[in-house]
């Protein structure tokens, strides 16, 4: 019994000795003591799988936790909810191209290409990206056929000169610098030269009689090499128009007859539409107006505003017959470019701007300024645009009697002060008064004040009412150009 007690005592002592040396893993693993973690490398693994506070540390490192995603990687988030700023940011780029326009850009289905217009005396462009300012102080402009460069007449101080500018407003270059006033710009087909009228007067080309006649008497037809600025005078006269092939120029010769009713005695009647080549040679009278007492085919006070058909086969012009029954009567005529012999295809009142052909040459747009409107109306009420289809014939009643005209149909848009054909020739951009509506009565003024205030550009398909408003705040009677 005593030996057994001694044996048990030895066993107990041996167990205590082993425990004090840490060599028995079973007792250590079963102990819940927190001191086990820092005791050595074998204890570093247990804290990792244990769901302890350690996961709260990763947010500062923005690792795979869901919380770092909104602040650090907000762009890839498919939903705009986590971050309002990215949701608000995209709209400004879509609206920013047209910051100056109070109206939205129309759907692409309604409008393609680029429209050039004047606003506040500055040249602007509207395209699918919105509105863009090109250059300021512009009186007149003529884009080259591809629209990449535009010739402009700018008024700087009291001087009117020709400049060129790129479509995006860059590379503004002065081409002329003199005391004459330039007007009626035409590009050569290769873009190397500009043809225009230059008058030694103090005002831009007027669109009324007899002021036009006085201006034309002081004017010359000029061609300028764009690259060098070299200038050549081709003839005395105004309204030059270059043929599509660039070989011939049609222009209005200066009037030669005075009017006893005018105190100035300046020549205001009797002139011709003349054709010359690019060197100013081989001039001939395409059409003549021999004065108020002349008979057909040379009847009338003046012929003016020549324009070429797109194929160069025909030339149009207007014949100002003078006042008849309180209306200034005009006939628009067209003739073969090598033989003349013009025939009437439209009538108008007041003063007419050069014909604008549709791209296919089968229809013609005529802008009319009836400045002597017997109703006493002014502003937009004195303007209209007439579209004539040049096939067929029709009869028109005039003060001198019925006149048979080319063109089986004619459509008029009252109160339109400017127009330009779309590149495909299906529609026009038309300038109408602000607040225009198709049901406004025509027997009373749209604006009783007759103000020449800014207007709106609308899409118009002849035969229907204008349907889509494109541009607001366009200068009164601003020229328009619509290019691809």
Q: What are the pLDDT digits (tens) for 420-463? A: 999 999 999 999 999 999 999 999 999 999 999 999 999 999 99
Beta bridge partners of 340: 336
Which pLDDT band, with edges at 50, 70 and 90, does 232 fall under? very high
Q: Is 396 helix (H, G, I), strand (E, B) or coil?
A: strand
- Least confident range of 29-33, 261-265, 302-306: 29-33
pLDDT surpasses 70 at 348: yes
**101, 102, 105, 110 alpha-carbon torsion, rounded to 10°:** -120
Distance separating alpha carbons of residues 298 and 288, to the nearest angstrom: 5
CA distance 166 to 187: 15
Examine the pLDDT at 6 and tell me if it is beyond 50: no
- Say yes or no to pLDDT of 26 above 70: no
- DSSP three-state, residue 6: helix
pLDDT exceeds 80 at position 45: no
Taking residue 269's Cβ as centre, other Cβ atoms within 10 Å add up to 24
CA distances, 337 to each of 134, 215, 331 (Å):
36, 26, 18
Question: In CATH, which superfamily holds the domain spanning 112-483?
Answer: TolB, C-terminal domain (2.120.10.30)
**pLDDT of 263:** 63
Cα separation, 210 vs 387, in Å, equals 26
In order, the DSSP letters of 46-108 are TTTTS--SGGGSGGGTT-S-STTHHHHS-TT-SSSSS-HHHHHSSHHHHHTT-TT-SSPPPPT
Q: List the single range of 241-250, 391-400, 463-472 with lowest mean pLDDT.
A: 391-400
**Which residues does 32 contact at the CB level (< 8 Å), separation at least 6?**
none
Phi then psi dihedrals of residue 327, to 5 deg: -135, 135
Query: Taking the CB of residue 405, how many other CB atoms lie within 10 A of it?
Result: 22
Look at residue 264 in the predicted model and tell me its pLDDT. Answer: 76
What pLDDT score was predicted for residue 343?
97
Tell me what pLDDT residue 42 has. Answer: 37
Q: Is pLDDT at 54 greater than 70 in this prediction?
A: no
pLDDT score of 169: 95
Tell me the pLDDT of the chain averaged across its residues: 82
Burial letters 127-157, b for 16+ CB under 10 A, else e: beebbbebbbbbbbbbbbeebebbbbbbbee
pLDDT value at residue 61: 37
- pLDDT, position 158: 86
More confident residue, 56 or 288: 288
CA distances from 391 to 127, 340, 409 (A): 33, 19, 8
Residue 337 pLDDT grade (very low, low, confident, very high; cuts 50, 70, 90): very high
**Per-residue model confidence (pLDDT) at position 110:** 66
Residue 71 reports pLDDT greater than 50: no
Q: CA-CA distance, 447 to 431, in Å (whole number)?
A: 15
Closest CA to 370 of 379, 382, 360, 362: 382
- Tell me the helix, strand and coil percentages in the chain, rounded to 5: 15, 40, 45
Percent of the chain residues past pLDDT 70, beyond the cut: 77
Give me the pLDDT at residue 17, please. Answer: 34
Q: Does residue 41 have a pLDDT over 50?
A: no
Most confident of 86-100, 263-277, 298-312: 298-312
Structure tokens at 332: 């628009």
Nearest to 146 by CA among 194, 97, 190, 185: 190
pLDDT at position 247 is 97
pLDDT at 287: 98
Q: Is the pTM of this model over 0.75?
A: yes
- Secondary structure of residue 297 in the 3-state scheme: coil
- Residue whose pair of structure tokens reads 């628009």 in the numeric block: 332
pLDDT at residue 428, as a whole number: 97
* Per-residue pLDDT tens digits for 390-429: 999 999 998 888 999 999 889 999 999 999 999 999 999 9
Range among 77-91, 100-114, 167-181 with highest mean pLDDT value: 167-181
- The residue-averaged pLDDT of 245-256 equals 97
| Spatial strand order in the sheet of 159-166 | 138-143, 149-156, 159-166, 173-174
Whether residue 322 is predicted with pLDDT greater than 60 in this model: the reply is yes
**Which one has a higher pLDDT value, 326 or 351?**
351
Backbone CA torsion sign across 73, 75, 80, 85:
positive
């Amino acid at each position: 019994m005593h030996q057994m007690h001694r044996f048990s005592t030895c066993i107990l002592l041996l167990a205590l000795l082993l425990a004090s040396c840490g060599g028995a893993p079973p007792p250590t693993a079963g102990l819940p003591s927190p001191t086990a973690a820092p005791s050595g490398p074998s204890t570093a693994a247990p804290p990792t799988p244990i769901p302890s506070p350690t996961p709260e540390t990763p947010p500062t490192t923005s690792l795979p936790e869901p919380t770092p995603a909104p602040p650090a990687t907000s762009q890839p988030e498919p939903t705009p909810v986590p971050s309002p700023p990215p949701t608000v940011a995209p709209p400004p780029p879509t609206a920013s191209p047209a910051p100056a326009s109070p109206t939205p850009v129309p759907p692409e289905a309604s409008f393609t290409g680029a429209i050039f217009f004047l606003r506040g005396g500055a040249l602007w462009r509207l395209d699918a990206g919105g509105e863009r300012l090109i250059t300021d102080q512009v009186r007149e402009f003529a884009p080259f056929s591809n629209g990449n460069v535009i010739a402009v007449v700018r008024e700087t101080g009291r001087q009117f000169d020709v400049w060129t500018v790129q479509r995006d407003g860059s590379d503004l270059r002065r081409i002329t610098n003199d005391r004459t006033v330039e007007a009626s710009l035409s590009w050569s087909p290769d873009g190397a030269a500009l043809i225009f009228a230059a008058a030694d007067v103090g005002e831009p080309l007027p669109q009324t009689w007899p002021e036009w006649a006085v201006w034309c008497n002081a004017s010359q037809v000029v061609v300028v090499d764009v690259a060098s600025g070299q200038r050549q005078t081709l003839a005395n006269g105004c309204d030059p128009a270059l043929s599509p092939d660039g070989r011939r120029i049609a222009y209005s010769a200066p009037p030669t007859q005075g009017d006893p009713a005018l105190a100035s005695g300046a020549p205001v009647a009797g002139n011709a539409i003349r054709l010359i080549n690019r060197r100013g040679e081989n001039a001939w009278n395409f059409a003549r107006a021999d004065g108020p007492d002349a008979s057909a085919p040379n009847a009338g006070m003046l012929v003016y505003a020549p324009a070429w058909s797109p194929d160069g086969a025909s030339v149009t012009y207007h014949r100002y017959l003078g006042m008849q029954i309180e209306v200034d009567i005009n006939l628009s005529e067209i003739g073969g470019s090598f033989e003349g012999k013009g025939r009437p295809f439209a009538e108008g009142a007041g003063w007419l701007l050069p014909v604008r052909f549709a791209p296919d040459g089968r229809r013609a747009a005529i802008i009319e300024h009836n400045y002597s409107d017997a109703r006493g109306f002014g502003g937009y009420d004195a303007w209209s645009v007439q579209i004539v289809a040049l096939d067929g014939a029709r009869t028109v009643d005039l003060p001198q009697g019925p006149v048979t005209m080319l063109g089986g149909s004619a459509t008029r848009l009252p109160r339109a002060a400017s127009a330009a054909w779309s590149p495909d020739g299906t529609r026009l951009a038309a300038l109408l008064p602000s607040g225009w509506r198709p049901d406004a009565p025509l027997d009373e003024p749209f604006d009783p004040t007759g103000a020449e205030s800014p207007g709106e550009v609308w899409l118009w398909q002849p035969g229907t009412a204008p349907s889509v408003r494109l541009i607001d705040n366009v200068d009164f009677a601003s020229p328009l150009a619509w290019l691809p």
